[in-house]
Amino acid sequence: MVRELSHFIGGKSVAGTSGRFGDVFDPNTGQVQAKVPLASKSEVEAVVTNAAEAQREWAKFNPQKRARVLMKFVALVNDEMDSLAALLSSEHGKTIPDAKGDIQRGLEVIEFAIGIPHLLKGEYTEGAGTGIDVYSMRQPLGVVAGITPFNFPAMIPLWKAGPALACGNAFILKPSERDPSVPLRFAELFLKAGLPSGVFNVINGDKEAVDALLFDPRIKAVGFVGSTPIAQYIYETASANGKRAQCFGGAKNHAIVMPDADLDDVADQLVGAAYGSAGQRCMAISVAVPVGKGTADTLVEKLTARVGKLNIGKSDQDSVDIGPLVSSDAVKRINDYVQIAIDEGATVVADGRNQNIEDNDTGFFTGATLIDNVTKDMRVYKEEIFGPVLQIVRADDYEEALALPTDHKYGNGVAIFTRDGDTARDFATRVQVGMVGINVPIPVPIAYHTFGGWKASGFGDLNQHGPDSIRFYTKTKTVTQRWPGGGLKGNTNHFVIPTMD
């Protein structure tokens, strides 16, 4: 039976009225499991109106009361972790453990936002001038929006919503129409946790809904994660309409492997970093750069042995390493890229195309692919593949390896594997990439540090979660005050700019 999903507006489920729907598939079978409404401009305008009214009351909650709502939400999500992970897996295709990790990483940002009473504290200077004190305060922006991708249907919505709500804003989420059910359930749990109706809303849709958010003057800030062309479009459109924008795009994450690295450990780490979640992570390692022929030959040998043992299958099976991709289009795109690599002269060491999954010939499956002898002028190196494909780009020395991620148009994440502290320190200092791992293949910072890439991977001055998120979702007001009789003598009219003498 095909379910019909809804929006979540003003504290309740609301059926779509546009007459347009998108298909939500079960990637394990390739069958449509639900229909999701695609909102019209008028539906988006209605949810913004509702959110604007609700925000005024929410902003009156003191920070500690807002924090308590978030505490309760964390407890409710943990109580439902198994069912939420199963729901996420059924729409995205992640394995159950990976789906739980998706949810948990989102909750960690909510836990960070629970510290909002401390995070909102401003600055104070007593006696900045004779009888004059100066202080600052952080206040909410109003109504803000998050436009989030399919690959992390729990984590990224919570990365956006947690700090926004804690700061006193109302939040409108436009999740991916491919896997919207977990965000819709989050909306119900926020309400159950004590969040007032209308403060957290979910509006499903496509470009029409996105543009309605971008052009509505009542939306004060927009956060986005997705492909680079759309990130740039949203950033430029939001900025042109007077909004704050925080937009993150594509990636081509490198792992530099020095000759002194433990290659067995590196191979284990790379298999997980490249093929976990079927490679559908913005922080997945897609390029390994072994330094020196001996390092490269040994690493390829060890990777080949491990790739051959990976289990491809339905995401709800305990023994599965790689589940299906999110769509049939994703399978075709990845398989096409493998063929492009062959045509460009690279060597496919392990070919994951045309995997035979037992009792399943309709799901969105492709296996792990390992490609050697890729060069930086090849299309498969320049472009983001976003699937279970790991490429080997061989480097003769450290400087050549360092130049690869530094010169690439993307600058999201990078890692280096070495036992030498001087090399690691030099690499971290010089590489032109936003997030660096040293013997850590996926350098996603913990929730109280900020997350964000450089170059074509990120648009905007502030990053996600951590202190930057509080700056992004608040505006600073600075007050300069004095009181009559506070020590100022001989008050007369002055026609020069005030100073603090």
What integer pLDDT is reported at residue 354 of this predicted model? 80
What integer pLDDT is reported at residue 258 of this predicted model? 98
Q: Does 384 score more than 90 pLDDT?
A: yes
As a whole number of angstroms, the distance between CA 194 and CA 501 comes to 50
Which fold, 41-120+132-249+457-478? Aldehyde Dehydrogenase; Chain A, domain 1 (3.40.605)
Q: Does 490 score more than 60 pLDDT?
A: no
Q: If you average pLDDT over residues 202-208, what whole number do you get? A: 98
Domain 253-438 has CATH 3.90.1150.10: no
Q: If you average pLDDT over residues 301-312, what whole number do you get? A: 96
Q: Does 360 score more than 90 pLDDT?
A: no
pTM of this prediction?
Answer: 0.95
- For this structure, is 282 an active site residue? yes
With cut-offs at 50, 70 and 90, classify the pLDDT of residue 492: low
Q: Does 441 score more than 60 pLDDT?
A: yes
Per residue in 320-358, pLDDT (tens digit) is: 999 999 999 999 999 999 999 999 999 999 999 987 776
The residue from 219, 282, 350, 401 that is catalytic is 282
Q: If you average pLDDT over residues 41-66, what whole number do you get? A: 98
Q: If you average pLDDT over residues 442-458, what whole number do you get? A: 96
Q: Residue 218, CB half-sphere, CA atoms under 13 Å: how many?
A: 18
Per residue in 143-187, pLDDT (tens digit) is: 999 999 999 999 999 999 999 999 999 999 999 999 999 999 999
- Supply the DSSP symbol for 356: -
CB neighbours of 113 closer than 8 A, spacing ≥ 6? Answer: 67, 70, 119, 162, 163, 165, 166, 469
Question: Which residue type occupies 177?
Answer: E
Phi, psi of 109 (to 5 degrees): -75, -35
What integer pLDDT is reported at residue 114 of this predicted model? 98
List residues bridging with 288 in a β-sheet. Answer: 255, 392
Q: If you average pLDDT over residues 391-405, what whole number do you get? A: 98
- Supply the DSSP symbol for 48: H
What integer pLDDT is reported at residue 497 of this predicted model? 76
Q: Where are the domains of the chain?
A: 41-120+132-249+457-478, 253-438
Q: Does 317 score more than 90 pLDDT?
A: yes
As a whole number of angstroms, the distance between CA 45 and CA 53 comes to 13
With cut-offs at 50, 70 and 90, classify the pLDDT of residue 450: very high
What integer pLDDT is reported at residue 257 of this predicted model? 98
Q: Does 122 score more than 80 pLDDT?
A: yes
Q: If you average pLDDT over residues 215-240, what whole number do you get? A: 98
Q: Does 129 score more than 70 pLDDT?
A: yes
Per residue in 405-431, pLDDT (tens digit) is: 999 999 999 999 999 999 999 999 999
CA 37-43-44 angle, to 5 degrees, is 100
Q: What is the dihedral of CA 107, 177, 160, 54, to 10 degrees?
A: -100
As a whole number of angstroms, the distance between CA 130 and CA 484 comes to 12
- DSSP reduced 3-state for 187: helix
The dihedral through the CA atoms of 55, 57, 59, 63 has a sign that is negative
Q: Does 493 score more than 70 pLDDT?
A: no
Nearest of 448, 444, 426, 427 to residue 435 by alpha carbon: 444
Q: Does 486 score more than 90 pLDDT?
A: no
126 versus 488: which is more confidently predicted? Answer: 126
What percent of the chain has a predicted confidence (pLDDT) above 70?
97
Q: Does 491 score more than 60 pLDDT?
A: no
